[in-house]
Amino acid sequence: MPSIAPSKIIKYTNCRLVRAGAIVRDDLWVRGGRIVNPEPVFFDEQVQADATVDCSDALICPGFIDIQINGGFGYDFSSDVGKLEEAVSTVAKGVLATGVTSFCPTVVTSPCSVYHEVLPKLKRTPGGKEGAGILGIHLEGPFINPEKKGAHPLECIQKVEGINKIHNIYGDLGNVALVTIAPELPGALEVIRHLTSQGIKVSVGHSKGNLEEGEAAVNHGASFITHLFNAMLPFHHRDPGLVGLLTSQFIPRPVHYGIIADGIHTHPAALRIAHRTHPKGLVLVTDAMAAMGLGEGHHCIGQMQVLVEGRQAQVVGTNTLAGSIATMDDCVRHFIKEAGVTVVEGIEAASLHPAQVMGVTHSKGTLDFGTDADFLLLCDKGPLRVLNTFIAGECVAGPSLTPHTIKTPRVVLAK
């Protein structure tokens, strides 16, 4: 797209917008990297758009947000410590074509030295042509239940033992946005309350916790469930476990929950059950690891070696799943098809809902006026397909779009 001054107004026309839970036919106006309300621009400022872009009836939606991604394209955030800048740059750039405009690089259970080296370097960034923005780090472990460790190394799992232990293990928490912890661990509730008081979101997961322990965690500030159904007790009619949080009457607010909709981690029936039980809480996550974008072969996730065969990644020598190789647009398509949800519901699970979890709906996750112009042009004729990805109003992935510059005077109303 040719360069247009940041103060200029671009109008995207001949399009449909995902807005307020529906698809509406309307134009999208962008100025200074934000979505603007055209009415005051036209009537108060008495100006019109500087340029228009014909979207050829594309669907425009908010950019996708992935709050659990371990790496991709050959890189792992927890093990490629010596080339972390290269890893982040490669993943941030690579996910643009999949519709992801913001993400939380996820660091799995690791030695203490890894946290102290990695956490200060994974800084929040706004995103742009160089890659998707970083909303903050997701720490998945090491304060998890060893019996539900999944692809986390047993020798690195830690007991909680108080707030000081958390700070000693992690070191600098300034770049951390989300922490996964097993709520049943002694001392976990105190830590959950402390972390949330510092503005850090807390998720429950990798846990043998029962429903009461999950409810206690939420009552102390937890607001998310890490990859529902995976690495937790299965639903039981006498003790539904953490899954029961979806319908609990003893928590102050409904929780959100992550789902890996890759066709491997979660059966379509489980997707449908979760969605129909609590549709507004479902958050699509990729849980992608280094093999995303590469395919079969040997890879790693944190300290663990992984073998990818077909679409399935497993810890070498076991049948334990070790993240996924799915991209976010894959997950959205799979969710729409297998759960029988609408396109809007599929999109909101990858945009609005994760923005709600992270507390950034004032700037991300919607096409509301005043929010960041992070949006996608999609083809919804057939399986959903990402055509173009925009961050702050700039096309960062997809074929170039040529705006038509308005040649009439910008002043449209007599003063």
Its CATH class, for the domain covering 9-62+368-405, is mainly beta
Query: Is 377 annotated for ligand binding?
Result: no
Query: Is 313 annotated for ligand binding?
Result: no
Q: Where are the domains of the chain?
A: 9-62+368-405, 64-358
What confidence tier does 48 reach under pLDDT thresholds 50, 70, 90? Answer: confident
Write down the pTM of the prediction: 0.94
Query: Are 179 and 203 within 8 A, CB to CB?
Result: yes
Q: Taking 70 as the threshold, does the pLDDT of residue 198 lie above it?
A: yes
Query: Is 265 annotated for ligand binding?
Result: yes
Instruction: Compute the average pLDDT of residues 130-137.
Output: 98
C-alpha closest to that of 244 among 266, 221, 285, 215: 215
Query: Is 49 annotated for ligand binding?
Result: no
Please give the structure tokens belonging to residue 140.
């998945």
Query: Is 230 annotated for ligand binding?
Result: yes
Query: Is 349 annotated for ligand binding?
Result: no
Catalytic center residues: 287
% of the chain with per-residue pLDDT over 90: 81
% of the chain with per-residue pLDDT over 70: 95
Domain 64-358 has CATH 3.20.20.140: yes
